């Protein structure tokens, strides 16, 4: 099956690595965009935010970013100002964002990707931290 999936990925992030691995566990090789190196255009970023049903603030990443130094906790900042910050510092974009035929999702926790991958898991999956999320039959573990 040909399924077009895009993951906005940061290889330094365990959640992102787990998400990518679950997509591959469904037999799909996604388009991997290392967004810190090659950020989306402003139009694309705004579209992803809208399609994921998020606000720019909900997509902001705090940990390991210049969030505090830039004063991004200021609730009076406009959505446009937050998107400006993400464009200037792509590390502020939380990850992983996944685009599939079933929608766009910020996959935190990583198993949220299972809701938008259109093919079943091909076998068991255990996250890097040892948490089992898919059983040997490919079913999600509740």
- Half-sphere exposure of residue 45, counting CA atoms within 13 Å on the CB side? 28
98 neighbors 113 (Cβ within 8 angstroms): yes
Mutual angle of helices 79-88 and 42-51, in 10-degree steps: 120
Element (H, E) at 21: helix 14-25
- In whole angstroms, give the CA distance from residue 65 to residue 58: 15
Distances (CA, A) of 56 to 11, 78, 137: 22, 9, 38
Active site residue 13: yes
Q: Which candidate in 13, 22, 59, 104 is catalytic?
A: 13
Active site residues: 13
């Amino acid at each position: 099956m040909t399924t077009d999936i895009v993951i906005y990925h940061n290889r330094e992030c365990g959640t992102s690595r787990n998400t990518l691995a679950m997509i591959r566990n469904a037999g799909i090789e996604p388009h991997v965009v290392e967004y810190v190196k090659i950020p989306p255009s402003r139009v694309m970023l705004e579209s992803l935010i809208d399609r994921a049903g998020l606000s720019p603030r909900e997509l902001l990443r705090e940990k390991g970013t210049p969030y505090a130094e830039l004063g991004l906790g200021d609730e009076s900042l406009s959505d446009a100002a937050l998107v400006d910050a993400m464009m200037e510092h792509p590390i502020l974009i939380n990850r992983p964002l996944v685009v599939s035929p079933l929608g766009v999702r910020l996959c935190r926790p990583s198993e949220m990707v299972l809701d938008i991958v259109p093919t079943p898991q091909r076998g068991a999956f255990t996250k890097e931290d040892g948490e089992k999320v898919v059983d040997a039959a490919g079913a999600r573990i509740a």
